[in-house]
Amino acid sequence: MLKKTIIYTFFLIGIICFGTVDLSAQTKKTREELEKEKADVQARLREFDAILKQTTAIKKTTLGELNAITRQFQTQTRLVNTLDREVKLINQEINETEEKIASLEEALKDLKAEYGRMIYNASKLNRGLSIVAFVFSSNNFNQLYSRLMYLKQYTDSRKQQAIQIEKLSLELAEQRKTLDQRKSEKENVLSEEKKERAELERLKQSQQGVVNNLSKKEKDIKRQITATKKQQDQLNKMIKQVIEEEIRRAEAASRKENSNTTKSAGSSMPMTPEAAALSSSFAGNKGRLPWPVETGFITQRYGTYPHPTLKGITMENDGIDIRTQPNSNVRTVFDGTVTKITTMPGYGGTVIIKHGEYYTMYSKLKTISVKTGQKVNAKDVIGQVATGPDGEAEVHFQTWKGLQVMDPSTWVTSK
């Protein structure tokens, strides 16, 4: 009887000890990642607000305004989705905590019942014999030793049970406190989600209002897009001429020096070892380059695609357009050499910087603070952004590898 009680007690304690593992630890990393994502999205929305407020007084129904509202709407949608995921995660944590509380309550009930039985059995051993009589009624020394060991284990087990009862009681109180906290967090997030959904609906209505107005000006918009495309073609023609001239110079220098130049894999341009190293370093930082402006958001992405909200309108862009604060500094994204400074129709001040076989172009500048041939480092200020008649401050940014234009959004850090 005594031996079975001791074995059962240690078995029960073992189940309790292993059963009290914190289940919430399984979702801790996910929760931290979700909180970081939410903070990042909220920071982006604050950036949107700060930039768009600059044009509130003078904004008109323009394609640029629609692009900005569309990007804001997309980011607001992302925030609402993040909050929705957070609510689901909290619900999961609440369910896990409730299951854990139920398990702890059941374990505590069993442990207290077993402890009660042990107290009762301690007073009656072997047909009512006292503990002393039980020990000294042994038939031989081996039996005496065995009974002493049983009693020692029995006493240790009772102490361990008492410790576990106290531990479980504290753990149960802590889990109930955690449950209350999770429920409170859920209410807060639901309230926040409700508020952000209302903001999302406001943005949706604002976006639809602009769409309705612009839809009446479809011919004007298409004419504007055609004119912009023509200006961009002139811009691209200019940068290709600059790059072709650079290639010719490099080939001429290569023929002259012969042994001091090299070509990187896939490159159409001979380069000095220093230029090859710079080119390799630029390529190695793909996806990690800083933005050409400190704050901002992309209003028109790279490529040819249908406008996300205006039917029948196709967008074309060989770079990205970044909306930012008026008078913001424009910065180079990597070490290099200023190769060309010019002014282009529709794009204003333009700077081209060479990074080995790679080139970056910065347009729509109102002032330029560098000179042709000047060496620059990453984040060096090269000028200030121009502000259009509608109060929209945008930078046009392009990336090239030789004569091949690339998507700049894949080179800068994601936001």
Are 181 and 139 found together in one domain?
Answer: yes
Picking from 158, 189, 215, the residue at the C-terminal end of a domain is 215
Q: Which of 397, 387, 389, 398 is nearest to 324 (CA)?
A: 387
Residue type, 142: N
The stretches of 61-140 forming alpha helices (DSSP H) are 63-123, 131-136
Q: Residue 19: which domain range?
A: 2-215
SS3 137: coil
Indicate whether 158 belongs to any domain.
yes
Are 153 and 38 found together in one domain?
Answer: yes
What does the pLDDT look like over 129-155, one tens digit per residue? 555 555 556 667 676 666 556 656 666
Are 38 and 165 found together in one domain?
Answer: yes
Are 109 and 174 found together in one domain?
Answer: yes
Are 168 and 243 found together in one domain?
Answer: no
Q: What is the mean pLDDT of residues 357-368?
A: 96
What CATH number is associated with residue 367?
A: 2.70.70.10
What does the pLDDT look like over 82-106, one tens digit per residue? 899 888 888 888 888 888 888 877 8
The answer to whether 348 and 365 have CB atoms below 8 angstroms apart is yes
pLDDT of residue 11 exceeding 50: no
What does the pLDDT look like over 373-405, one tens digit per residue? 999 999 999 999 998 877 789 999 999 999 999
The answer to whether 82 and 41 have CB atoms below 8 angstroms apart is yes
Are 367 and 317 found together in one domain?
Answer: yes
Q: Determine the Cα–Cα distance for residues 8 and 11; give it in Å rounded to an integer.
A: 5
Are 257 and 190 found together in one domain?
Answer: no
What CATH number is associated with residue 34?
A: 1.20.1260
Joined together, the tokens standing for residue 180 give 């209350």
Residue type, 271: M
Indicate whether 143 belongs to any domain.
yes
Instruction: For residue 383, give the H/E element and its range.
Output: strand 381-385
Instruction: Please provide the distance, in angstroms rounded to a whole number, between the alpha carbons at the two ends of the chain.
Output: 69
Indicate whether 385 belongs to any domain.
yes
Residue type, 144: L
What does the pLDDT look like over 269-308, one tens digit per residue? 677 788 889 999 999 999 999 999 999 999 899 999 888 7
What does the pLDDT look like over 229-245, one tens digit per residue? 888 889 989 999 999 99
What is the chain's mean pLDDT, rounded?
80
Indicate whether 224 belongs to any domain.
no
What does the pLDDT look like over 159-180, one tens digit per residue? 666 677 777 778 888 888 888 8
Are 306 and 371 found together in one domain?
Answer: yes
What's the predicted TM-score (pTM) here?
0.65
What does the pLDDT look like over 317-341, one tens digit per residue? 999 999 999 999 999 999 999 999 9
What does the pLDDT look like over 191-220, one tens digit per residue? 888 999 998 888 888 888 877 777 777 777
Count how many domains the chain has. Answer: 2
Predicted confidence at residue 214, as pLDDT, reads 75
Rg, Å, the chain Cα set: 36
Joined together, the tokens standing for residue 52 give 């768009």
Residue 289, phi then psi, degrees to nearest 5:
-70, 145
pLDDT of residue 13 exceeding 50: no
Are 165 and 298 found together in one domain?
Answer: no
| pLDDT more than 90, % of the chain | 29
What does the pLDDT look like over 20-71, one tens digit per residue? 445 455 556 687 888 888 888 888 888 878 777 766 555 556 777 778 888 8
The answer to whether 304 and 314 have CB atoms below 8 angstroms apart is yes
